[in-house]
Amino acid sequence: MEFSELKPEQIEKAANMIKAISHPMRLAIIGYLGEDNKLSVTEIHNLLNIEQSTASHHLGILKDKGVLASNRSGKNTMYYLKRKTLNQLVQCISECVCE
């Protein structure tokens, strides 16, 4: 589907996803979840060296905006990218800042 074919509510949803992704911690979370990774809140807070409550907050925002999905695995909730194409977006951003 071409961007010009999107309905106004779809454009609004896309803008909200981009806003959610634009926070440095959330962008880092998406980077760690690329390549089909599934991580728990504990793993994410350890990777980013942030409080677990902060990691949970950012994960909640990303999930609410349709960027992440989750499923239970025993006692843990595992988070992953809802759409694999989001990994391409993160790779593109990485390439832009590394040039």
What tens digit of pLDDT does each residue of 40-56 get?
Answer: 999 999 999 999 999 99
Burial 59-89, CB ≥16 within 10 A → b, else e: bebbbebebbebeeeeeebbbebbeeebbeb
pLDDT value at position 99? 67
Which domains are present in the chain? 7-98 (1.10.10.10)
User: pTM for the complete prediction?
Assistant: 0.85
| Percent of the residues in the chain that have a pLDDT greater than 70, as a whole number | 98
Angle between helices 41-48 and 52-64 (to 10 degrees): 110
The sign of the CA dihedral 63, 27, 13, 36 is negative
Top-ranked range on mean pLDDT: pick from 26-40, 46-60, 81-95 = 46-60
Q: How confident is the model at residue 35 (pLDDT cuts 50, 70, 90)?
A: confident
* Residue 94 or 26, more confident: 26
Phi/psi for 48 (5° steps) reads -95, -5
Pairwise CA distance, residues 88 & 5, whole Å:
22
